[in-house]
Amino acid sequence: MSCCNIIVNHFFIQFSMKFCFVFILIFSSFLSLTGQYVTTYDPQKEYNGYYKGKPESYYRDLAKKASKVKSAGILLTTAGTTGVITGALVISSATGPDSDEKEKTGAIILLSGAILMDVGIPLWIYGGIKKRNNLNAADLAVKNHTTSLYLAPVQSGIGLVCRF
């Protein structure tokens, strides 16, 4: 047997399933958090990148969709946190003759909760950033919206034209 196999076998023999599941939970949460890319507020990019000259209602609709994504992320994160806590409690209370079944059930609940959290957190962040950017673009669309009154050629000659 290789050295790595000996270490892994020793690790799983020495520690109970409870510690293994806690390690997996922490490791999976660490992977999900380190893989996130969080943008910083950059006003120059906001004005040049998100506002594309479309009407305010376009950006408000995008912000509404992003708000739904953010809400879904909050819901998944909350459900995942509840699952992790419930799974940990079921695992820690596993005693008696059917403790193996309780540990397996707790492990399934705990891992399901961790997966829900790993999906919910990025959706929450993405939806929040997207919502803020689109609301800022909508505000800029209102600010750039001008009403003008001027003379211009029309069918019968020159006329007063109002643009809004």
Which residue did the predictor score with more confidence, 10 or 157?
Answer: 157
pLDDT for res 109? 94
Pairing mode, strands 157-163 and 148-154: antiparallel
Q: What is the pLDDT of residues 65-82, one digit of tens each?
A: 999 999 999 999 999 999
Over pLDDT 70: what percentage of the chain?
62
pLDDT at 164 over 70: no
Asked if the model's pLDDT at residue 41 lies above 60, the reply is no
Pick the more confident residue, 103 or 3. Answer: 103
In tens, the pLDDT along 16-35 reads: 555 555 656 565 655 555 44
Flag whether the pTM goes above 0.85: no
Per DSSP, the residues of 9-60 read HHHHHHS-HHHHHHHHHHHHHHHHHHT---PPP-HHHIIIII--S--HHHHH
Q: Say what the pLDDT of residue 96 is.
A: 80
